[in-house]
Amino acid sequence: MTPEEWVRQHFVRFLVDDKDYPTSLIAIEKQLTINNRTKRTDILVFNNMGHHDIVVECKAPSVKITQDTFDQIARYNLKLKANFLIVTNGLEHYYCRMDFDNETYIFLKEIPDYKSAL
């Protein structure tokens, strides 16, 4: 298992065990096309209506989270239109809620659990 995969697996467990997201709403390495290039999200969580709700970008613990990391997930979200963005390297976690009206994101202390997001 690669270090990034370790982070991904542990973050999925966090979503399921701590935040009560159903596994049936979580997709791993979901493919999307941006500018005629195939990309993959690390974790994509759907809401109960089947819409993209959370995009998670995972990095290895040795990778510092930078503005480039946020730019990457923001590019993905131009297509996905998810409500929340998460960037993690397993040591640091950044949670953001999208503000589509102002074309920005707002940093949060944590993401809502599944039941409060309904």
Please list the pLDDT of the chain residue by residue as tens digits (118 residues): 899 999 999 999 999 999 999 999 999 998 888 888 888 999 999 998 999 999 999 999 999 999 998 888 988 898 899 999 999 999 999 999 999 899 888 999 998 899 876 5
Predicted pLDDT at 71: 87
Predicted pLDDT at 117: 63
Predicted pLDDT at 65: 94
User: Going edge to edge, which strands form the sheet with 84-88?
Assistant: 26-34, 37-46, 52-58, 84-88, 93-99, 104-108
CA separation for the pair 79, 6 (Å, rounded) = 27
**Of 78, 86, 38, residue with least CA distance to 58:** 86
- Domain at 3-117, CATH class: alpha beta
Predicted pLDDT at 118: 57
Tokens in use for 74?
């923001």
